[in-house]
Amino acid sequence: MAIYLEMPRLDKEFPFRILVNDGNILTTPHWHRELELIYVTKGTITLGINDQPYTLSEGGIVFINSGDIHYVLASPGSERLVYQFDFSFFSSVSTEEADISHSFPDIFPLSIHWSEEDQKKVREILENVYLENRERHPGYQYVIKSAIFQLAVLFIRKLPKRENRKVQEINGIKNNEILEKLDQVFRYVENRYQQHISLQDAASEVGYSPFYFTRFFKKNTGKTFITFLNDYRIDKAKWLLINSDKNVSQIISEVGFESDKTFYRLFKNSLMLSPLEYRKKMSIN
């Protein structure tokens, strides 16, 4: 399976979300800038982090650092809560001593390495955050942010650390550089997808030759740049089909496809439906 970069859609004003995944949901190898915690609430799951496989049972927690490559295999009968948040959550604390990006890479990721007391504290915090996020009473965002800060303090002060710091720092620097370049490409596509974009255009945007950019993009996203661009445009078209009354020809032009034939072929390959069949199906649902 290809390794790809995931870009969680987090609110810029409140960069946090919780997903509830049942055991039938398989997540293929991927990585992202955001921090992630997985809390198993039912059954047992099998996952991997940086080529190391693990098994985690009910009540177990795993911490996934920014840039870690990870996956979760299908685990029927299980359920897990997935918490994702961005480093910007901690932007109000900018001192070197409080920089959690220096502390998180060293933590043993699985809760089986933590003390019973610390496991219990983390579970209580995660369960409280889940309830606050679900019920959303006035001020819930303050409660969640406070809880995330509590987790950060607990991680920094209490959880056991690994000693292979030097290798992790090198990998962290490398991943940050890759993320910055990919973010630059994604922003470029987001701002220009309605216009003509060539491979040369994208490569020039990040200062790479087309040959190097082709290899770089495929290695770090699992797909070619043109495939990514077409997928992005198809996603925009899907949204317009559901949320507007525009006809298909208008939508094709608006999302940047220069060929109707190419759009119809890619749309059908992606969804096994024509655009109008998709619109009809989604309106019924």
pLDDT at 173 over 80: no
| Residues sharing a CB contact under 8 Å with residue 24, sequence separation 6 or more, in sequence order | 74, 76
Q: Which residue has the tokens 């190419």?
A: 262
Quote the CA–CA distance of 105 and 194 in Å, as a whole number: 39
Pick 228-284's CATH classification: 1.10.10.60, 2.40.30.10, 1.20.1440.130, 3.40.50.2300: 1.10.10.60
Q: What is the mean pLDDT of residues 162-169?
A: 53
Which of 44 and 103 is assigned the larger pLDDT? Answer: 44
Burial 210-244 (b: 16+ CB within 10 A, else e): eeebbebbeebbbbebeebbbebbbebbbebbeee
Q: What is the pLDDT of residue 187?
A: 81
Quote the CA–CA distance of 164 and 257 in Å, as a whole number: 48
| Domain boundaries, given as residue ranges, for the chain | 4-157, 165-222, 228-284
CA angle 167, 172, 176 (to 5 degrees): 155
List C-alpha distances in Å: 192 to 127, 203, 256: 41, 14, 9
pLDDT at 169 over 50: no
Q: What is the mean pLDDT of residues 109-116?
A: 93
pLDDT at 3 over 80: no
pLDDT at 1 over 60: no
Which of 213 and 171 is assigned the larger pLDDT? Answer: 213
Residue pLDDT, tens place only, 117-158: 999 999 999 999 999 999 999 999 999 999 999 998 998 888
Residue pLDDT, tens place only, 80-112: 999 999 877 777 655 544 455 556 667 888 999
Q: What is the pLDDT of residue 100?
A: 59
Contacts of 188-192 with C-beta under 8 Å, sequence gap 24+, read 189/228, 189/229, 189/232, 190/232
Which of 177 and 281 is assigned the larger pLDDT? Answer: 281
Q: Which residue has the tokens 């049972």?
A: 57
Q: What is the pLDDT of residue 94?
A: 52
Q: What is the mean pLDDT of the chain?
A: 84
pLDDT at 113 over 60: yes
Q: Which CATH superfamily is domain 4-157 in?
A: Regulatory protein AraC (2.60.120.280)
HEC readout, 75-101: CCCCEEEEEEECHHHHCCCCCCCCCHH
Give me 149's structure tokens.
């800060």
Q: Which residue in 159, 168, 59 sits closest to 114, CA to CA?
A: 159
pLDDT at 261 over 60: yes
At 248 the three-state DSSP class reads helix
pLDDT at 166 over 50: no
Q: What is the pLDDT of residue 72?
A: 86
Residue pair 237/263 in contact by the 8 Å Cβ criterion: yes
Q: What is the pLDDT of residue 137?
A: 96
pLDDT at 57 over 60: yes
Its pTM stands at 0.64
At 69 the three-state DSSP class reads coil
Q: Residue 271 belongs to what H/E stretch?
A: helix 260-271
Q: What is the pLDDT of residue 102?
A: 58
pLDDT at 279 over 60: yes
Quote the CA–CA distance of 109 and 49 in Å, as a whole number: 9
Q: What is the pLDDT of residue 18?
A: 96
